[in-house]
Amino acid sequence: MRDLTLSDAARAIGVSQDTLRRWDRAGKLRTTRDGRNRRLVSQAEVERLTDRPQRHVVGDGVSARNRFAGVVRSVEIDGVMALVEIEAGPFLVTAAVTRDSVEELGLRAGVAATAMVKATSVLVERDGGR
């Protein structure tokens, strides 16, 4: 992780540079100084001070963050398409994939698999009515 200038850190946290200077003097913010005596703020400090929740890091080069690891429960092939049902803990995820994908991945009942969900919209329904 790289250190940020005071202005970059202020922008990332959503406060003014003066606020960061006050926090530094009060001990609320940990800074270091560069060779020209300018304050630097570590990325870890910025993350600690933002009120946004931390997102989990997958670290495998795939952008999907919503993953359901489980076991293939069934595979139904019909022409060039297939429905693959994965039991992932208490969830059942059904994916419509190509027949080629099923064959290339060796998907069949009992095989461990992970469904990755990347959607532009997610619908949420409240349990128990209004």
In which band, very low, low, confident or very high, does the pLDDT at 81 lie, cut at 50, 70 and 90? very high
Per the structure block, which two tokens stand in for 52? 């946004």
12 Ramachandran zone, left/alpha/beta (phi>0; psi -120 to 50): alpha
DSSP summary character for residue 52: S
Amino acid at 40: L
Which one has a higher pLDDT value, 122 or 18? Answer: 18
For the chain, list the domains and their CATH numbers. 3-49 (1.10.1660.10), 66-116 (2.40.50.100)
Digit-coded pLDDT (tens) for 91-130: 999 999 999 999 999 999 999 999 988 777 777 788 876 6
Rounded Cα–Cα distance for residues 2 and 127 (Å): 44
Neighbour-count burial of 87, counting CB atoms closer than 10 A to its CB (0-12 exposed, 13-18 middle, 19+ buried): middle
What would the mean pLDDT of 10-15 be, rounded to a whole number? 87
Question: Which pTM value belongs to this model?
Answer: 0.50
pLDDT of residue 88: 92
Rounded Cα–Cα distance for residues 70 and 52 (Å): 30
Per the structure block, which two tokens stand in for 3? 């250190």
- The answer to whether 45 touches 25, Cβ cutoff 8 Å, is no
Q: What are phi and psi of 45, to 5 degrees?
A: -65, -40
pLDDT of residue 94: 92
In which band, very low, low, confident or very high, does the pLDDT at 53 lie, cut at 50, 70 and 90? low
Which one has a higher pLDDT value, 64 or 89? Answer: 89
| Mean pLDDT of all residues belonging to the chain | 86
**In the Cβ-directed half-sphere of 69, how many Cα atoms lie within 13 Å?**
1
Rounded Cα–Cα distance for residues 112 and 109 (Å): 9
Per the structure block, which two tokens stand in for 46? 């910025």
